[in-house]
Each structure stands twice: as structure tokens, then as C-alpha cells.
Amino acid sequence: MNIGLAIKSIAVEKGMTAAALSRATGISEGYLSQLFHAKIEDPQLSKMWALSKALGVTVDEMVQRSLEEVVA
């Protein structure tokens, strides 16, 4: 699984829309859309950090989620 798809999955589980995530992080909805649709494969660490804080998970948890789908 791509990291963006893993982040989208976590956001859905937390009930956060892209708009809410954008407001909470300052990351544009356009960027989030590209991330969620696997058009961005290697997001900046600063964006990963902001997303993890807004979603209440660690960056490690987001990466682990993306790796679990690959192994399964």
C-alpha cells in the first residue's frame, strides 16, 4: 500500500474528511487529494508529522500501516 492510501484509511477510521484534515494541518486539499490517490509517493517529513498530529497517530504507525498491506 502507498503511504497516502494508508493515511487516507486512517483518516476515514477517525472520521476526518480531507477538508477537516486540511484545516487541521495547513496542507492544501489538492495536495491531500494527490497523496490519497497515490500520485505523491514520498511526502515530506514535515507533512507526515503534521498529518500524524492531526490524526492522533505516530508517523511510525502510518508507515507501518502502509507496510502491512504490502506484506499481507
Quickly state the pLDDT bin for 68 (edges 50, 70, 90): confident
CATH number of domain containing 46: 1.10.260.40
Q: What is the pLDDT of residue 2?
A: 87
Q: Are 4 and 37 in contact (CB under 8 A)?
A: yes
What range does the domain containing 45 cover?
3-71
Q: What is the pLDDT of residue 50?
A: 98
Instruction: Quick: pLDDT tens for 10-59.
Output: 999 999 999 999 999 999 999 999 999 999 989 999 999 999 999 999 99
Domain count, the chain: 1
Q: Are 62 and 4 in contact (CB under 8 A)?
A: no
Q: What is the pLDDT of residue 69?
A: 64
Long-range (24+ apart) CB contacts under 8 A made by 7-14 are 7/35, 7/36, 7/51, 7/55, 7/62, 8/35, 8/36, 9/65, 10/55, 10/57, 10/61, 10/62, 10/65, 11/55, 14/55, 14/56
